[in-house]
Amino acid sequence: MSGPALRLALEIDGDGAHPASWRRSAHSPDHLLTPRRVARVAAGAENAGFTLLTLEDGALPPGATPDAVGRIGAVERAAFIAASTSVVGVAPVVPLTYAEPFHVSSQLASLDHISVGRAGWVVSEETRAEAASVWGRPLVDGAEARALESRDGVEVVRALWDSWEDDAVIRSVATSRYLDRDRLHYVDFTGDTYAVKGPAIVPRPPQGQLVVLGQPDRVPAGQLDIALVEGRDLAAVGASAATAGTPRVFAEVEVALDTADATAEERVADLERHAPWSDRGRLRHIGSAAGLAALLGELRGVVDGVRLHPLVLDEDLPELSRLVLPHLFERRHAVRPLPGASLRTHLGLDRPANRYAAAAAQEDAR
């Protein structure tokens, strides 16, 4: 198989993709929610050569007893990681089912400033009914209603990112003006259920717009930079990728690797005694590092990148770092991000023009 080199993303929430992953972790459970743990995982993934780290989230506990029920907010973790890394991109999961788009826009724009242009955003949904109570809002019931909230929310967040033109701060000493107010814009969004005025309080993010990731059947393709596609085999992934309609497509891949102590099969079986690794219809590789490298090689040409979901971070990340990623880099099947570049640059995405500046320029040209 041939094709352009892949970009590699890694989901690093909790102890891994399996709900019982904490049982095989190298640290004790009470270290999960510490800064050292958060920084160590991020540093390991950055050093391995991943382009992007994603952080799953939700306002409710991530699992149920006896498994882990604790989780620090993804935006806070992402900001902490951004300040303790220098190259890797970082994208928190933020659902808009109930959240205030103005706050979400400010938080994510701030993350892009903090990381100097390395931020992304995974748009998700709050599907659990109890989440409505977290937000003091009426239940958003059904897939269609949730998709509507995501659509409106992403629209508002993106509009607010553009509400400051890049050169809005002029510091004109002669006229005493810090801002050129003509370069700030009210977004004046009016949807079915709410309206937002703007402009943002945070200047435009360094990337202009953060890299927005999501499922193409849940968020309009025009609002996504990267579609996250599923499928149990290459054909299914290929079919989803072909119809995604987004600038980039990443395949979701669940991974359990052989280690020195146990085979991947044994590791999965050990955890399955405690809880099932639910089948979400994604590609799943349980086996050797070489097998995974071969599978990823085959995905070139089908997708632009992959997001890996390791069974147990403490066991699988070292194998990915030691065997899989070097194999891919050596053959130029995947690309390691370069220092000093933005996440958009790493992904081959242009820095978008500002919708309001573009409109103003058109106006001038008439």
Partner 1 sequence: MTRTDPLDVPRPDAQLHLGVFFQGVNHWTIWSDPASGSQIDPANFRRVAQTAERGLFDAFFLGEGLRLREVDGLIHDLDVAGRPDALTQLAALAAVTDRIGLVSTSNTTFNEPADLARRLSGLDLLSEGRAGWNVVTTDNAWTGANFRRGGYLDHADRYRRAEEFLTVARALWDSWEDGVVSGSAGAPAWAALGAVRQVRHQGPQFDVDLAPTLPRSAQGHPVIFQAGDSGEGRDFAARNADVIFSAHGNDFDDALAFADDLRRRLRAVGRPDDDLRILPGTEIIIGATEEEAQEKKRWIRLQQVTPATALGIAGLLWRLDLSGRDADGPLPKEDPVVAENDGSFGARRIVDPRQVVAEWREKADANRWSLRETVIALGPQRGHVGTPAGLADKFAHFVRHGAVDGFNVTPYLIPDGLDDIVDLLVPALQERGVYRTEYTGTTLREHLDLRAPLTHRSTTDHRQAG
Q: Residue 290 interacts with partner 1 (CB under 8 A)? A: no
The binder of partner 1 chosen from 86, 103, 142, 359 (CB under 8 A): 103
The binder of partner 1 chosen from 48, 94, 202, 251 (CB under 8 A): 202
> Considering the complex, what minimum distance in angstroms separates the CB of residue 74 from partner 1?
9
> Considering the complex, what minimum distance in angstroms separates the CB of residue 5 from partner 1?
30
Question: Looking at beta carbons only, is 84 or 345 nearer to partner 1?
Answer: 84
Q: Residue 133 interacts with partner 1 (CB under 8 A)? A: yes
Strand pairing class (226-229; 248-257): parallel
> Considering the complex, what minimum distance in angstroms separates the CB of residue 127 from partner 1?
15
SS (H, E, C) the chain: CCCCCEEEEEECCCCCCCCCHHHHCCCCHHHCCCHHHHHHHHHHHHHHCCCEEEECCCCCCCCCCCCCCCCCCHHHHHHHHHHHCCCCEEEEEEECCCCCHHHHHHHHHHHHHHCCCCEEEEEECCCCCCHHHHHCCCCCCCHHHHHHHHHHHHHHHHHHHCCECCCCEEEECCCCEEECHHHECCCCEECCCCEECCCCCCCCCCCCCCEEEECCCCCCHHHCCEEEECCCCHHHHHHHHHHCCCCEEEEEEEEEECCCCCCHHHHHHHHHCCCCCCCCCCEEEEECHHHHHHHHHHHECCECEEEEEECCHHHHHHHHHHHHHHHHHHCCCECCCCCCCCHHHHCCCCCCCCHHHHHHHHHHHC
Q: Residue 29 interacts with partner 1 (CB under 8 A)? A: yes
Question: CA 245 from chain center: how many Å?
Answer: 18
> Considering the complex, what minimum distance in angstroms separates the CB of residue 351 from partner 1?
17
Give CA–CA dist 307/288, Å, rounded: 18
The binder of partner 1 chosen from 56, 100, 166, 230 (CB under 8 A): 100
Contact region with partner 1 (CB under 8 A), list: 100-108, 259-267, 277-285, 352-360: 100-108
Question: Looking at beta carbons only, is 169 or 236 nearer to partner 1?
Answer: 169
Question: Looking at beta carbons only, is 193 or 243 nearer to partner 1?
Answer: 193
The binder of partner 1 chosen from 7, 8, 18, 25 (CB under 8 A): 25
Site for partner 1 in 137-176 (CB under 8 A): 164, 168-169, 171, 173, 175-176
Site for partner 1 in 327-356 (CB under 8 A): none
Number of chain positions touching partner 1 (CB under 8 A): 78
Question: Looking at beta carbons only, is 1 or 194 nearer to partner 1?
Answer: 194
Q: 109-128 mask for partner 1 (x: CB under 8 A)? A: xxx-xx-x------------
Contact region with partner 1 (CB under 8 A), list: 198-206, 242-250, 259-267, 328-336: 198-206
Site for partner 1 in 61-90 (CB under 8 A): 61-63, 65-73, 75-77, 79-84
Question: Looking at beta carbons only, is 109 or 244 nearer to partner 1?
Answer: 109
Question: Looking at beta carbons only, is 205 or 214 nearer to partner 1?
Answer: 205
Q: Residue 312 interacts with partner 1 (CB under 8 A)? A: no
